Structure 1
Amino acid sequence: MASFMNTRSLAEGAVIAGITAVLGLLGMFIPPLFLIISILMPIPLAVLVRRTDLRVAVLSLLVTGLLMMVLYPDPLQVLVMFIQFGPLGLVLGLLYKNYVSAGHALAAASLVATIASVAVIMLAVLVSGLSLEMLQSMANDILDKAFDFYRQAGTPLTPDQQQFYREGIKTSILLLPAVWIVSAVVSTAISYIVGCRVLKRLNYKVNVLPPFNRWRMPWYSIWGLIVGFLCVVIGQQFGLTILKVVGQNILTVFALAFFVLGLSVVAYYYQRLPFSRPFRVFLLILLIFYISLMYIGIVLLGVFDATFNLRRPRLKSENK
C-alpha cells in the first residue's frame, strides 16, 4: 500500500512538473502572458505539497527546472523564474498544509517573495553589471534626444522643465527595487487567493483572507517606516548614498502597505455611513478622483490603525 501511495505521489509530481514547465515556457515565449503566469505558476506546486509532501514537491520542482532548461534557449531566464516562483510554491504549499491563518500565511509568503525578488535583482546586477548609475546615464541620454526633438520642433523646454523630468526619472530609477518588491507581494497575494479557491474546489480546508475592510497589520509593522526613515537620515548626514537609497525603497514599500491598510479603514467606515446611496456614490467618486491628494492622509490613517486599532470598538460591539 505504501509503495502504491509513493508511486501515485510521484506520478502526481510528474504531472505537476509538466504543468509548471508549460506555464513557465508560456510566460517566457509570450511576454504579454507573463503577468498572469507569475500568478499561476506557484499554485500547482503548492497544491502538490498539500496533496502529498514536501519531498515530492521538491523533486517535481527540480524536474520542472530541467525541462525548462532543455526547452528554453536562455538558462539565465529559466534560473530567474526558478528562483522567483519555486520557493514560493513550496512555502505556499506548506502554509496550506499546516492550516496557517490567512494573515500570517500571506505575511510569510510575501517575505519569501521579497527575498526571491532581492535575489533576482542581485543576480541581474552580477551577471549584467548594471547599476543604478548606468541606468541613470541611459535615461539621461534618452531625455537629451527627446529635448533635442522638442527644440527642433520649435517648442523647446525650459531648463526648469528639463530638470523636473530628469529628477522624476532619477527618482523612478532609484525606486525600481521597491516597485519590483511591491509587484511581487501583490502577485503573491493573488496567488494565495487563487490557491485557496483551487484547494476548496478539491475539497481541502483552507484559511481564506478576511474581507478587505477587516484587513489589519500588527503594531510592530511601523518599525518598517522608522527603519526606512533612519536609513534616509543617516545616509544624507554621512553621505552614504547606498544607505539612503535603501531607506527610500523601504519607505516606499511600507508607505504603500499602510496606504492599503488606510483604504481598508476607509472601506470599513464607508460601509457604515448613514447616508443615502446617491450621496455615498458621490463620496466614492470624490475619493477616487482625489486619492492622490489624500495619499499621505490615508497612509497616516493606516499607521494609526496599526498602532491603535481604530476599528476595535465597533468590531467588538458588532460581534456581541
Structure 2
Amino acid sequence: MKSPRAQRTRALTEGALLAALTIVLYVADIYTKLLLYVIPVPVAILVIRNGARTGAIATAVSALGVSLILGPIDGLIVLVRVGFIGIVLGALLARKRPWLITLAGTSAASLAAFVSDFLLVSWSTGLSPGAMVAKVQETFVEAGQRTMELYQKMGVPQESLGLVKQMTEAMPVWFKTFLPAVLAIGAVFSAAIAYAAARWILIRMKRDVEPIPAFADWRIDWRWAWGLIGALLLAYAIPSVDLGFARTLATNVIAVYVMIYAVQGIAVLWSVLGSMGVPKGLRAVIAVFLYLTPTLNWLLPMTGLLDGWLDFRKLMSRA
C-alpha cells in the first residue's frame, strides 16, 4: 500500500497531466468540433483514481489555462461544463453505481451544463434567453430560404418545393416548442458518449466496471407507459382548455418518450435480425433506413412500446 505522501504525489502529477490534457482537448475542439463530448473524461478518470477534490482542483486549473488562451468565457464553460460533468461521471463510476443510474446522473449533469452554457452565452452577448431563441429561429428561416433557392436552381418539382416550404416554415415553431426535449435528448447523447469513453478507458486500465446488458436485451418495463399516457392526456385530451406551459411540457415529454421507445424498438429489431444471422453492419443499415424513412419510422417506437407488454424477445421468461 502506498504511503499518503506517495498518493498525494501521484494525485498531483496525474492532476497536472490530465488538466493539461483537458486544456488541449478543449482548444483542439475549437478547430475540430469533434472532441466536445469527451472533454470531461480526463476529469472523470482523475476523480475515479484520486477523488473529487483532486478532480475539482484540476478543473479549476484547466479553466484558468483555457481562460489565458481563449478568454474568460471559455474558461467558465470549462469550469461549468467540463468540470461538472466530469466530476459527476467520475464520482458515479468510482462508487460503481449501476450503469443506468450513472448514465442518468451524467445526463442530468449534462443538461444542467447545457442550461448553464445557454445562460452564460446570453449574459455574455447581452441578449435575453428569449431573444437568443428568436435568433436561432431566424437562422432556421434563413437556412430554409437558402434551401428553397438551391432546390429551385436544381429544378425540383413544384409539389416537392411546396412540401419543403411547409417544413422550413414549421421548423422555427418546432424548435421553440420542442427545445426542452431537444436539450434533454442532447444531454443523454452527450452523457452516453462521455460514459462510453470513460468506460472504455477504465476497461483498458484493468478497472472493474459495471457490465452493460447486450443491446439486443435492452427492455423497458411496461409501467413506463403510464408517463406517456399521462402526457398524451394532458397534451391532447382537453384541447379547448388553455393549459399553457403544462401542455408544452407534456408535448416535450411525449417527444422524449418517442425517442426512448424508438431506441427500444431498434433493440427489438436488433435482436430479431441477430437471431436470423444478419450481420451487425447490415442490421445497422436496416435500423437507420427505418428510422429515417417517414412512412416507416413510426414502426420503431410502436414496437418499443408494445414490447413492454408483449415481450417479443421473451426476455421475461429467460429472467
Give the deviation of 1:277 after TM superposition: 6.0
TM-score normalised over the length of structure 2:
0.79
Aligned equivalent of 1:99? 96
Contact 2:107 2:191 in 1 (8 A): yes
> Given the superposition, is the C-alpha separation of residues 302 and 62 from structure 1 closer, same or farther in structure 2, using an over 3 Å criterion?
same
Hey, what does 1:54 align to over in structure 2? Answer: 52
Is the aligned partner of 1:298 residue 2:297?
no
Count of matched residue positions in the alignment of Structure 1 and Structure 2: 309
Q: 1:12 to 1:247 in 2, by over 3 A?
A: same
| Amino acid in structure 2 at the alignment position of 1:259 | A
Q: 1:246 corresponds to which residue?
A: 249
Q: Structure 1 residues 315, 94: closer, same or farther in 2, change over 3 A?
A: farther
TM score, norm. by length of structure 1: 0.79
Contact 1:236 1:244 in 2 (8 A): no
Answer whether contact 1:219 1:306 (CA < 8 A) is retained. yes
Further displaced range: 209-218 or 62-71: 209-218
RMSD (CA atoms): 3.7
1:179 aligned partner: 182
Partner of 1:87: 84
Q: Which moved more, 1:196-205 or 1:239-248?
A: 239-248
Equivalences for 1:96-135 in 2 at 5 Å?
96-125=93-122, 127-129=126-128, 130-135=131-136
Alignment partner of 1:14 out of 1, 16, 21: 16
User: Partner of 1:136 in structure 2?
Assistant: 137
Displacement of 1:38 = 2.0
* Paired residue secondary structure (1:128): coil
Higher mean displacement: 92-101 or 128-137: 128-137
1:270 aligned to which of 260, 273, 276? 273
Task: State the percentage of identical aligned residues.
Answer: 23
CA contact (8 A) 2:62 2:78 kept: no
Q: Is the 8 A contact 2:270 2:283 kept in 1?
A: no
Among 138, 148, 169, the alignment partner of 1:166 is 169
Q: Single out whichever of 140-149 and 243-252 deviates more from structure 2.
A: 140-149
Residue 27 of structure 1 corresponds to 29
In 2 relative to 1, CA 137–37 (structure 1 residues): closer, same or farther, beyond 3 Å?
A: closer
Which amino acid counterpart does residue 109 of structure 1 have in structure 2? T
Contact 2:114 2:183 in 1 (8 A): yes
Is 1:191 the counterpart of 2:194 in the alignment?
Answer: yes
Separation of aligned partners in 2, 1:299 and 1:311: 16
Partner of 1:119, secondary structure, is helix
- Unaligned runs of at least 5 residues, structure 2: none
Contact 2:141 2:168 in 1 (8 A): no
1:2 match = 4
